[in-house]
Amino acid sequence: MSIGILLRQARESAGLSIDDVAKRTNIRGRVLQDLEAENFTSSGGNAYARGHIRSIARVIKANPDLLIEEFNQTVGEEDRSMFDLLQENNVTQVKREKKNISYKTLAYSAAAIIALVVLVPTGISFIHTSHSVKKAAPVASQAAVVAPNTAVATKTSATSVVVTAVNGKTWVGVTDSNGNQIFSGQISQGQTQSFNDSQQLNVVVGNAGAVNLNVNGKDAGSPGALGEVVHLQFGPGSSSQG
């Protein structure tokens, strides 16, 4: 879906006319019409067009970074990666910087290692002695100790999300439960992307009405309307957006 269509659909979804947006942004109506027609000459060039788009986004309650990404795709220019834009908009969780280990912490760690070196052999000797004592005790019959045909089932859980573009293209950003980037990019109509994590998936869809979701094997349908930006969170057992 092109930047012009996205601007128009987002403006109409906000219930605003060209004149309404012009009054609130101080951008001439002709320039607004040209932007929706993907004619950027009256804006004074691509740099000024980007500024206009950000001003319009604030008025129509749309995500400015996602609109700029689509603008760059339309004019064939690359700006920053999609994931960087999502991070700037606080859509994804930013990884925490690792703290430097202090000398005090190292000293405590060394003391713990020394304690293990001293105590572990003693513990092993104690276990060996206890095991020898147990051997001398009468052994109960096998039937009494182990129940026949007994199995322990371990339940595993995971989160899976399948995104299918069915009505145009959209941007998708996916991170796991630790904030690590799994995917950042566009999905065109007819394409499908699958994502999995043992705990949680955080999904951002830039054009919600363009996709259908399948969450943990269940059809969740479309998460929103055309041009709408949605932030979703799924965990094990989820069948709809969190």
Considering its fold, how many domains does the chain have in total?
A: 2
Question: Which range is least confidently modeled, 10-24, 30-44, 54-68, 217-231?
Answer: 217-231
**Does the residue 148 lie in any domain?**
no
What's 207's domain CATH number? 2.60.40
The string of pLDDT tens digits covering residues 176-197 is 888 888 888 788 889 999 999 9
Which pLDDT score is estimated for 149?
43
Q: Please state, in angstroms and rounded to a whole number, the distance separating the CA atoms of residues 231 and 229.
A: 7
- Nearest to 206, CA basis, from 165, 176, 173, 240: 173
**Does the residue 10 lie in any domain?**
yes
Domain boundary among 60, 79, 98: 79
- The CA angle 21-49-27, to the nearest 5 degrees, is 30
**Does the residue 116 lie in any domain?**
no
**Does the residue 97 lie in any domain?**
no
- Nearest to 237, CA basis, from 158, 176, 120, 178: 158
The string of pLDDT tens digits covering residues 58-112 is 999 999 999 999 999 888 765 444 454 445 444 444 445 455 656 566 666 767 6
pLDDT exceeds cutoff 60 at 40: yes
What's 28's domain CATH number? 1.10.260.40
Residue range(s) defining the domain that contains residue 27: 3-79
The string of pLDDT tens digits covering residues 141-173 is 443 333 344 333 334 468 998 999 998 888 778
Q: In this structure, what token pair is assigned to residue 10?
A: 């987002």
Question: How many CB atoms are located within 10 Å of the residue 117 CB?
Answer: 9
Q: Which residue has the higher pLDDT, 134 or 159?
A: 159
**Does the residue 142 lie in any domain?**
no
Which pLDDT score is estimated for 150?
37
The string of pLDDT tens digits covering residues 199-221 is 898 888 888 888 898 999 999 99
**Does the residue 123 lie in any domain?**
no
Do you know the residue count of the chain? 242
> For the chain, what is the mean pLDDT?
76
Contact status, residue 174 vs residue 198, Cβ threshold 8 Å: no
In the β-sheet with 201-205, what is the strand arrangement from edge to edge?
A: 181-187, 170-176, 201-205, 230-234
- Nearest to 1, CA basis, from 228, 164, 194, 189: 189
The model's pTM is 0.40
Contact status, residue 187 vs residue 169, Cβ threshold 8 Å: yes
Q: What is the mean pLDDT of the segment spanning 218-229?
A: 88
**Does the residue 181 lie in any domain?**
yes
**Does the residue 239 lie in any domain?**
no
Domain boundary among 79, 94, 118: 79
Domain boundary among 79, 114, 132: 79
DSSP 188: -
DSSP 145: H
List all residues 6 or more positions away from 8 whose beta carbon is below 8 Å from its beta carbon: 36
